[in-house]
Amino acid sequence: MRILVLLGPPGAGKGTQAKRLEKAYGIVQLSTGDMLRAAVASGSALGQQAKDVMDAGRLMPDDIMTKIISDRVEQPDCANGFILDGFPRTRAQAEALDALLDGKGLALDKVIELKVVEQALVERISGRFACANCGAGYHDTFQPPKTPGVCDVCGSTEFKRRADDTAETVRARLAAYREQTAPILPYYRDKGILVEVDGMADIDEVTRQIEQLLNG
């Protein structure tokens, strides 16, 4: 069973790479951001809270996020393993994850840090969008659909942009990463499971680097 964490600031390419690893290794992507966006769309109480927090570029409380992940990993599709995309985001979440896995006799294989230059991220994030039907990710400049306005994967002509991908919210999200998430890198480095990948390389090259680290 393979259990991976993708770490890196918003716009580093975690979601893009997680989707590729999902296919390559037959393990499921667990994106806490996607789970919260689904809660917002459903109009639940959790969704209302998540909307306010996400729009402000802040983080949701640790206990709520830990509960979401501990419930999610019980699902049958996690039996082969999973890639955590967006969790953990704080030291408390990292420790809760270890306790959760430990209780199941499991452990993290690798934590993959996507290293990027922060100045590049605002442009990356503000240009991104996704197919409203299948979720395939695109970028206005770096990865437009082959036929403008048509999804390469499923042919849909409907696209969506994230509500929190605005320049102002991105700055708050980057600050949250610097202050609350980056401090967990030494935690994993000390355990000897942190590996670093150049997230500024092109998408295929990043995938190649990750696969090399996982297969090596």
Chain residues binding ligand AMP by CB under 6 A are 10, 32-33, 36, 53-54, 57-60, 65, 86-87, 89, 93, 173
Our answer to whether residue 58 is catalytic in this structure is: no
Rounded Cα–Cα distance for residues 157 and 81 (Å) = 33
Secondary structure (3-state) at 164: coil
* Residue with smaller CB distance to ligand AMP, 89 or 124: 89
* Residue 110 C-beta: closest distance to ligand AMP, Å: 18
CA–CA distance, 168 with 43 (Å, rounded to integer): 25
* Angstrom distance (rounded) from CA 184 to CA 108: 14
Q: How far is the CB of 216 from ligand AMP (least distance, A)?
A: 27
Pairing of strands 81-85, 2-7: parallel
Q: Is 208 considered catalytic here?
A: no
Whichever of 176 and 210 has its CB closer to ligand AMP, that residue is 176
Marked catalytic residue, from 58, 72, 91, 162: 162
| Conformational region of residue 43, where left means phi above 0, alpha means psi within -120 to 50, and beta covers everything else | left
Choice among 14, 20, 37, 51 that is catalytic? 14
- Residue 178 annotated as catalytic: no
Which residue numbers are catalytic? 14, 89, 128, 162, 173
